[in-house]
Amino acid sequence: MLNSKKMKFFKGNVEDLDAIAVIYCNTFIGYDYTSDDINEAKQTIIKHSTYPGFQGIKYINESNKVVGFA
């Protein structure tokens, strides 16, 4: 089971946005992504996490590294 203390909700531009964008690109583009892809991913994440009634969730490991998001 996931440790709820390591699940953090977020909206918009957050401190870990770069790490979240890298995970997004690795998942949807693969490892051959560009800085433009990262910037587009950031805008998409910000947009989706700020829809009325919605928010993002990031999962942090024991080393305080983002390892997943929704």
pLDDT single digits (tens) 24-37: 999 999 999 999 99
- 36 touches 8 (CB < 8 A): no
pLDDT single digits (tens) 8-61: 999 999 999 999 999 999 999 999 999 999 999 999 999 999 999 999 999 999
For residues 62 and 1, the model is more confident at 62
pLDDT > 80? residue 3? no
Read off the tokens for 51. Answer: 């829809």
Task: Note the pTM of the prediction, 2 decimals.
Answer: 0.86
Domain segments of the chain as ranges: 16-53
- 37 touches 24 (CB < 8 A): no
DSSP string, 15-53: TTHHHHHHHHHHHHT-S---HHHHHHHHHHHHHHHTSTT
